[in-house]
Structure 1
């Protein structure tokens, strides 16, 4: 699926689509070998070095990166450090592949933020397990965040940079939460980010579009108010930016599996327990 954001075409996978894996290696045979092994389960993109890979990331939303260490122009260590220090990409898990099997080499890769370090020669089955585990764990965290009314957005952070970004994003939404017209345009302006950059970051880190995330933030703020038990439901729906209580109720039930009234009753019952 592709969406035009500003002057850029942002590509991102739908739920039913394969996860996108970026494979970075200057060896054509290795690229083909790993791609052939992965393409049944994943959509595989290729790059010959770190510089080329960064250009790919400017236009593609990627769920995981597999990179060789020894490459021209920009090696795997430098590339990994760039990924983990760049806000737009810092959430993407990185698997480093290398023939270097020294402990110091492993430590260097992990210190630069690599999520997994795989030595060459490696078993394709072992690499498949590492990829699957990283992607599944990330998706579970995202799903748990979306379905848990009181879970803070920073629970989906994968780095300190992500945590700082998400806290600023949450604060920005909260300050403007009663504004019914709050959308990605307003959010990008208030976050001092370009719309394509903000869109790509939010979509990648949460599996949600900015507008979906704004709506989820409204519902989570409403859940917090309901948990406090001090305001009426119609008051809460207005405070968090809904035009009508019925619309708010439908969205709340769809997101969390119960109506605002039922949620309020459940929280009240919990507080009464000895």
Structure 2
């Protein structure tokens, strides 16, 4: 079955609310909750009509309403159109992924815009997957199920990690091996200021698009942010333990200039490197170089 493309937005419909907790019907069915964010009433009804057999559904007529419901009701997954009034799908996706209360929620974006550049733009905002209209409904259903299954698997893995000593955990899952390989590669190339996402994706034998999806799902960060975060955390360790100056450390972890390093460090940790040194209790603060 093929779904038609974007149409003019219809009238806002009355949305049936499902409570996150204490909903007898949800407890009975044990169905995951999916939030549909779509301004076109007919298209939203079509999605609801086809998905309601498999999921408990919430509805929102635009991104602003979708954000409010995501924050209040914490759905298991969000399916959102890109082109909407009030707040578009890309803006919604950015808000969802940047807020600690909702950043774990997988998002699938729907759009009539085709082309890899649009797909990359959607993924860079934090979307977990992207589907161009018109599309086969079974494809959407499959993507939703796959993301929910992966999310459940990840929760089980990290719940287990909390219960045992980290040192005793042997890396077994595909995701753990993936993250270990990514971390090792970045650390091996820490002094390479030109280390790129393309090099990381090549080393991991995965496309750039797939790398974006996987990194966002597992860490909540884009590949660029992941690389920068590893650099900065290594720098923090060096600030605490080494006798190098701040400028020397900035070059050691792959920053081209101490100024950019200082700016990035403050964005990551909330303090300047010099203040971080003082907070760590070292007697002799390092010079800015």
TM-score, with normalisation over the residues of structure 2?
Answer: 0.48
Identify if the C-alpha distance between structure 1 residues 16 and 28 changes in structure 2 by more than 3 Å, giving closer, same or farther: closer
| Residues 1:159 and 2:220 are matched in the alignment | yes
1:60 counterpart residue number: 73
Specify every segment of 5 or more residues in structure 2 that has no aligned partner in the other structure, as ranges: 1-18, 167-175, 177-216, 230-289
Offset of residue 110 of structure 1: 0.7
2:21 counterpart residue number: 11
Offset of residue 39 of structure 1: 0.6
Tell whether the 8 Å contact from 1:80 to 1:113 is kept in structure 2 after alignment: yes
Offset of residue 159 of structure 1: 1.0
User: 1:96-151 CA deviation, whole Å, 9 max, x = no partner?
Assistant: 00000022111100111110000001111000000000000110121233345437
1:150 counterpart residue number: 164
1:88 counterpart residue number: 101
Tell whether the 8 Å contact from 1:99 to 1:120 is kept in structure 2 after alignment: yes
Tell whether the 8 Å contact from 2:71 to 2:102 is kept in structure 1 after alignment: no
Offset of residue 35 of structure 1: 0.7
Tell whether the 8 Å contact from 1:69 to 1:96 is kept in structure 2 after alignment: yes
Identify if the C-alpha distance between structure 1 residues 39 and 10 changes in structure 2 by more than 3 Å, giving closer, same or farther: closer
Tell whether the 8 Å contact from 2:108 to 2:131 is kept in structure 1 after alignment: yes
Identify if the C-alpha distance between structure 1 residues 33 and 158 changes in structure 2 by more than 3 Å, giving closer, same or farther: farther
Matching of residues 108-123 of structure 1 within 5 Å: 108-123=121-136
- What secondary structure is seen at the aligned counterpart in 2 of 1:58? helix
2:60 counterpart residue number: 47
Query: In the comparison of the two structures, how many residue pairs are matched?
Result: 154
RMSD: 2.8
Tell whether the 8 Å contact from 1:50 to 1:75 is kept in structure 2 after alignment: yes
Equivalent-residue separation in structure 2 for 1:89 and 1:140 (angstroms):
18
